[in-house]
C-alpha cells in the first residue's frame, strides 16, 4: 500500500472518523481506524464501535492499493501535528506503516485489514434528502431531555419520525419530555419512517450536520434511510451508520396534557435570568425552585439550609387562579434555552400537574413537558 495525500485532506478524514473508534473495548481492533486505498484515487477511512460506524472518503494519489488498520488516536495525533504539505504513506512488511512529511518521519504498527469488522451497508435502499438545518433544529430542541442512562435504552435516545409531510423528534428521561416537529418544505421528498436513535448516534449525527453547514458552497442536506436495524445518514463523502435501539419508545402523546392549562406569558430572557439567579441557592440534588403565580405576577423562590434563600418577582401576563408549583430549575432552563422566541408560554393546570413550555413564535413546533416536584 502506497499513496500521497495532502495533510489537509488526511486530517479532515481522520477528524470525521477517529472519534467513533472505541479505545475502551475488549476488542483491540475497535480502537483502530481502517484505511482502504482504492485504484480510483480515493482513500476510505472507517471506524466503528459495533453500534456506530462512520466512513469518510478523501482524494489521494494512490500508487499501490491496499488496506490496513492502525491506531485511530495515534494516527490522528500524528497527522494533526505534521507540517503543512504532502504526506507520503507506505505500508511495508509486518503491517508497519511509514508516514513522511517534509523532514518528519514516523513508523507505526498496523493490523491486517481483514481483522476489521465490516460496517453495515444500506445496499440498494432508497435514501431521502432532508434539510440539514431542519434536522439540526430538531436535535437542538430535544437532545437535552434524553436519558443518559444506557441501562434504559428505550429512554436513552430520540424517537425520529417522518410521515412525508412532518418530521418529528421526541425525547424523554422520565421526568420531562420534549417534542419538536417541522413541516417539510414544498417539493421535498421524505419517506415514511420511525426509528429510535441512541444518544451516541444523535451526537454523531449532530457532528455530521455541522459538517454539512460548514460547506457554504452547497445546500446543506443529509440523506437518510433505514434498513436491517440500522439507520444511515450521509452527505457528500461521509456516511454514518447507527444501530437502532430495538425498544419501544413510551407513548409520548399520552404524556402531553390534552387539556390546556392556564397560560403564563412572559419574556424568555427575563425568566431565564431569574431562574439562573434563584437556582444558585437551590438544593444541589433536587435543584428545585418554587413558582408562585398570581394575576400579573410570578414569584420564584428557593431555599437551602446550607446555602441560604433567594426570591425574585417578575411581571407576567396571567389572569388565572393563584397557583404554587415546584420544578427542577435546570429542566425549565433547558427547555427555555433551546428556544429563540422572545416570548414564551408556560401552561399550568395545578400544583400536581405537569407544566408545558411553548414558544409564542418559533420555526419549530415545540412542546416541553416538565413534571412538577414537591418543595
Specify whether 100 is located in the same domain as 135: no
Specify whether 192 is located in the same domain as 244: yes
Identify which of 71, 66, 75 has the alpha carbon closest to the alpha carbon of residue 114. 66
94 inside domain: yes
214 inside domain: yes
User: How many helices (H) and strands (E) in the chain?
Assistant: 7, 25
CA distance 105 to 82: 10
296 CB contacts (<8 Å, ≥6 apart)? Answer: 315, 316, 317, 318, 319
User: pLDDT (tens digit, 0 to 9) for every residue of the chain, 375 residues total?
Assistant: 999 999 999 999 999 999 999 888 889 999 999 999 999 999 999 999 999 999 999 999 999 999 999 999 999 999 999 999 999 999 998 899 999 999 999 999 999 999 999 999 999 998 988 889 999 999 999 999 999 998 999 999 999 998 878 999 999 999 999 999 998 765 555 568 899 999 999 999 999 998 766 666 567 889 999 999 999 999 989 999 999 999 999 999 999 998 888 999 999 999 999 999 999 999 878 889 999 999 999 999 999 988 899 999 999 999 999 999 999 999 999 999 999 999 999 999 999 999 999 999 888 999 999 999 987
Instruction: Out of 115, 144, 175, pick the residue that ends a domain.
Output: 115
In angstroms, how far is CA 338 from the centroid of its own chain? Answer: 13
The predicted model scores a pTM of: 0.91
Between the alpha carbon of residue 21 and those of residues 9, 54, 68, the distances in Å are 19, 9, 15
Span between the terminal Cα atoms of the chain, in Å: 66
123 inside domain: no
Set of cell numbers at residue 306: 446550607
Specify whether 197 is located in the same domain as 291: no
Instruction: Out of 81, 115, 149, pick the residue that ends a domain.
Output: 115
Number of folded domains in the chain? 3
Domain of residue 318 covers 256-370
203 CB contacts (<8 Å, ≥6 apart)? Answer: none
60 inside domain: yes
Identify which of 180, 178, 186 has the alpha carbon closest to the alpha carbon of residue 162. 180
Instruction: Out of 200, 221, 252, pick the residue that ends a domain.
Output: 252
Set of cell numbers at residue 373: 416536584
247 neighbors 229 (Cβ within 8 angstroms): no
Query: Domain of 328: which CATH number?
Result: 3.10.150.10
Specify whether 227 is located in the same domain as 132: yes
102 inside domain: yes
Q: Which residues pair with 227 in a beta bridge?
A: 230
150 inside domain: yes
375 inside domain: no
Specify whether 26 is located in the same domain as 89: yes
143 inside domain: yes
Amino acid at each position: 500500500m502506497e499513496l500521497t495525500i495532502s495533510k489537509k485532506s488526511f486530517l479532515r478524514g481522520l477528524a470525521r472518523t477517529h472519534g467513533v473508534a472505541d479505545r475502551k473495548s475488549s476488542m483491540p481492533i475497535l480502537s483502530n481506524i481502517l484505511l482502504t486505498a482504492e485504484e480510483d484515487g480515493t482513500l476510505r477511512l472507517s471506524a466503528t464501535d459495533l453500534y456506530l460506524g462512520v466512513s469518510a472518503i478523501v482524494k489521494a494519489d494512490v500508487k499501490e492499493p491496499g488496506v490496513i488498520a492502525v491506531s485511530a488516536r495515534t494516527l490522528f495525533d500524528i497527522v494533526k501535528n505534521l507540517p503543512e504539505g504532502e504526506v507520503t504513506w507506505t505500508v511495508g512488511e509486518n503491517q508497519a506503516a511509514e508516514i513522511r512529511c517534509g523532514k518528519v518521519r514516523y513508523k507505526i504498527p498496523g493490523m491486517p485489514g481483514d481483522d476489521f469488522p465490516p460496517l453495515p451497508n444500506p445496499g440498494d435502499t432508497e435514501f431521502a434528502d432532508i434539510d440539514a438545518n431542519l434536522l439540526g433544529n430538531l436535535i437542538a430542541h430535544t437532545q437535552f431531555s434524553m436519558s443518559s442512562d444506557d441501562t434504559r435504552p428505550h429512554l436513552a435516545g430520540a424517537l425520529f419520525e417522518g410521515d412525508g409531510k412532518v418530521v418529528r423528534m421526541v425525547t424523554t428521561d422520565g421526568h420531562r419530555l420534549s417534542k419538536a416537529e417541522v413541516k417539510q418544505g414544498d417539493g421535498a421528498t421524505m419517506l415514511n419512517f420511525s426509528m429510535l436513535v441512541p444518544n451516541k448516534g444523535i451526537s454523531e449525527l449532530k457532528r455530521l450536520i455541522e459538517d454539512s453547514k460548514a460547506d457554504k458552497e452547497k445546500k446543506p442536506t443529509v440523506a437518510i434511510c433505514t434498513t436491517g436495524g440500522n439507520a444511515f445518514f450521509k452527505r457528500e463523502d461521509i456516511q454514518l451508520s447507527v444501530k437502532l435501539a430495538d425498544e419501544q419508545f413510551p407513548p409520548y402523546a399520552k404524556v402531553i396534557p390534552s387539556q390546556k392549562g392556564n397560560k403564563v406569558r412572559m419574556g424568555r430572557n427575563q425568566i431565564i435570568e431569574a431562574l439562573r439567579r434563584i437556582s444558585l441557592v437551590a438544593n444541589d440534588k433536587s435543584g428545585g425552585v418554587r413558582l408562585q403565580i398570581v394575576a400579573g405576577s410570578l414569584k420564584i423562590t428557593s431555599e437551602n439550609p446550607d446555602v441560604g434563600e433567594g426570591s425574585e418577582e417578575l411581571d407576567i401576563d396571567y389572569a388565572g387562579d393563584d397557583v404554587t408549583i415546584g420544578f427542577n430549575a435546570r429542566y425549565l432552563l433547558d427547555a427555555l434555552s433551546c428556544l429563540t422566541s422572545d416570548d414564551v408560554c408556560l401552561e399550568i393546570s395545578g400544583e400536581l400537574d405537569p407544566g408545558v413550555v411553548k414558544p409564542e413564535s418559533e420555526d419549530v413546533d415545540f412542546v416541553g413537558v416538565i413534571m412538577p416536584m414537591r418543595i
